[in-house]
Amino acid sequence: MLDLENFFNEVRNIVDLKLDRLVPLGITEPLRLYEAIRWSLFGEGKRFRPALVIAAGREFGAPDEKLVHTAAAVEMIHTYSLIHDDLPAMDDDDLRRGRATAHKKFDVATAILAGDALQAMAFGTIAGDESLDQRMRLRLILELSMAAGQMVAGQQLDLEAEGKKVELDEVEQIHKGKTGALITFSVRAGGIIAEVSERDLLMLTNFGKRLGLLFQITDDILDVTSTSETLGKTAGKDIASRKATYPEAVGLAGARSLAKRISAEAYNELGPICREDSMLHDICNFVATRNS
Amino acid sequence: MLDLENFFNEVRNIVDLKLDRLVPLGITEPLRLYEAIRWSLFGEGKRFRPALVIAAGREFGAPDEKLVHTAAAVEMIHTYSLIHDDLPAMDDDDLRRGRATAHKKFDVATAILAGDALQAMAFGTIAGDESLDQRMRLRLILELSMAAGQMVAGQQLDLEAEGKKVELDEVEQIHKGKTGALITFSVRAGGIIAEVSERDLLMLTNFGKRLGLLFQITDDILDVTSTSETLGKTAGKDIASRKATYPEAVGLAGARSLAKRISAEAYNELGPICREDSMLHDICNFVATRNS
Residues of A with CB under 8 A from a CB of B: 28-30, 32-33, 80, 84, 87, 89-90, 107-110, 112-113, 115-117, 119-121, 123-124, 127-128, 134-135, 137-138, 141-142, 145-146, 148-149, 152-153, 155-157, 159-160, 173
Residues in chain B: 292
Instruction: Name the residue of chain A whose CA is nearest to B88's CA.
Output: A109
Instruction: Provide φ and ψ at B96, rounded to 5°.
Output: -160, 135
d(CA A21, CA A37): 13
Nearest to B85 by CA among B107, B98, B105, B102: B102
Tell me the pLDDT band of B242, cut-offs 50, 70 and 90.
confident
Q: Which of A98-107, B5-14, B218-227 has the lowest mean pLDDT?
A: B218-227
pLDDT at A64: 97
* pLDDT of residue B27 exceeding 70: no
Integer CA distances (angstroms), A253 to A221, A248, A249, B251, in order: 9, 11, 11, 70
Q: What percent of chain B has pLDDT over 90?
A: 72
Chain A residue numbers touching B80 (CB-CB < 8 A): 116
* Chain A nearest-CA residue for B107: A89
> How does residue B244 score in pLDDT terms, banded at 50, 70 and 90?
confident
Average pLDDT over residues B152-171: 90
pLDDT (tens digit, 9 = 90+) per residue, B174-200?
A: 999 999 999 999 999 999 999 999 999
Phi/psi of residue A275, nearest 5 degrees: -70, 155
Summarize pLDDT for B78-113 with one digit per residue, the tens.
999 999 999 999 999 998 888 999 999 999 999 999
Predicted confidence band of residue A1 (pLDDT cuts 50, 70, 90) = low
Specify which of A143-152, A225-234, A276-285 reaches the highest per-range mean pLDDT. A143-152
- The pLDDT of residue B1 is 59
Its ipTM equals: 0.95
Q: Is the pLDDT of residue B26 over 80?
A: no
Q: Is B141 in contact with A153 (Cβ distance < 8 A)?
A: no
Dist. CA A89–CA A91, nearest whole Å: 7
Domain boundaries in chain B? Answer: 2-289
Give the mean pLDDT of chain B: 92
Least confident of A3-17, A83-97, B125-139, B221-235: B221-235
- In tens, the pLDDT along B260-270 reads 999 999 999 88
Residue B112 has its nearest CB partner, among A89, A153, A157, at A89
Report the CATH architecture of A2-289: Orthogonal Bundle (1.10)
For chain A, the residue count is: 292
Whole-Å CA distances, B259 to A166, B158, B281: 58, 20, 15
Residues of B contacting chain A (CB within 8 angstroms): 28-30, 32-33, 80, 84, 87, 89-90, 107-110, 112-113, 115-117, 119-121, 123-124, 127-128, 134-135, 137-138, 141-142, 145-146, 148-149, 152-153, 155-157, 159-160, 173
Q: Which of A225-239, A245-259, B202-216 has the highest mean pLDDT?
A: B202-216
Nearest Cα to Cα of residue B192 among B140, B129, B148, B269: B140
pLDDT at residue A241 in the model: 79
DSSP A226: S
The Cα of A120 is separated from the nearest Cα of chain B by a number of Å equal to 5
